[in-house]
Chains A and B, each alone.
Chain A
Amino acid sequence: AQSVAQPEDQVNVAEGNPLTVKCTYSVSGNPYLFWYVQYPNRGLQFLLKYITGDNLVKGSYGFEAEFNKSQTSFHLKKPSALVSDSALYFCAVSSDSGNTPLVFGKGTRLSVIA
């Protein structure tokens, strides 16, 4: 069975500093990896995905994520955090092994402090 781990419930970072939100996964087959962001009282918003190819994926709002097959990780990064980046971030995984659903991590709350 596939699974996703987001080891940090909360990440605090000062505005202007780089941020990292961690994600590790376990799947059968080749992974399809996604990051979503959720602002208060809103639905989830797609940020970026890794399917194949270049390990560094660039997405919306200046976010990027690096796929590391040996460490089974897909950490979300941004070079310079904004206060408006404060939100709940979800990592999710499916795979090419059969008709697999999307499995979400438990989420990491990011707080960017001015």
Chain B
Amino acid sequence: DAMVIQNPRYQVTQFGKPVTLSCSQTLNHNVMYWYQQKSSQAPKLLFHYYDKDFNNEADTPDNFQSRRPNTSFCFLDIRSPGLGDAAMYLCATSRDLSGRAYEQYFGPGTRLTVT
């Protein structure tokens, strides 16, 4: 089945120690998104890639970076995690942008704990 895969499902890192979360998709979608979700709140968009074009949300901290080496994979790098970065991180894909009416497909998420 076509799907969005996130690894690992659970990640524990130390305060200030860089961490990378990964996402892959078999849907061949053009757009990939990274969201941060805390405590059953609404997902907060961090950034998205439209193909190779990177789009950063204005309030996304510089501590968060992303890479998309090819269509299938996208990575979220947190350079120096703080306690406030503990959250569920959701990857999503869509065939085209939401402003063109396309729904997003989400992975299962990676729950990040910062100790």
Chain A residues close to B by CB (< 8 Å): 32, 34, 36, 38, 41-46, 49, 51, 88, 90, 94-102, 104-107, 109
Contacts and interface: CB of A to CB of B under 8 A. Distances in A.
Given A32-B99, A101-B57, A106-B41, 12 more contacts: A43-B107, A44-B90, A45-B106, A46-B104, A46-B105, A96-B100, A100-B99, A101-B48, A101-B99, A105-B42, A106-B42, A107-B41
A99 B99 contact: yes
Contact of B111 (A32, A41, A94): A41
Interface in B68-107: 90-92, 97-101, 103-107
B107 A94 contact: no
A100 B90 contact: no
A29 B57 CA distance: 22
A94 B31 CA distance: 15
Contacts of A104: 42-43
Interface of B: 4, 6, 40-43, 45, 48, 57, 90-92, 97-101, 103-109, 111
27 contacts: A36-B106, A38-B40, A41-B109, A42-B108, A42-B109, A43-B6, A43-B91, A43-B106, A44-B43, A44-B92, A45-B106, A46-B103, A51-B101, A90-B43, A94-B98, A94-B99, A95-B99, A96-B99, A97-B99, A99-B97, A100-B99, A101-B48, A102-B45, A105-B42, A106-B41, A107-B41, A109-B40
A107 B40 contact: yes
A100 B43 CA distance: 16
A32 B98 CA distance: 8
A34 B90 CA distance: 17
Given A44-B90, A109-B40, A49 B109 contact: no
B45 A101 contact: yes
B98 A43 contact: no
A94 B90 CA distance: 19
A81 B40 CA distance: 22
A49 B42 contact: no
Contacts of A44: 43, 90, 92, 104, 106
Nearest to A105: B42
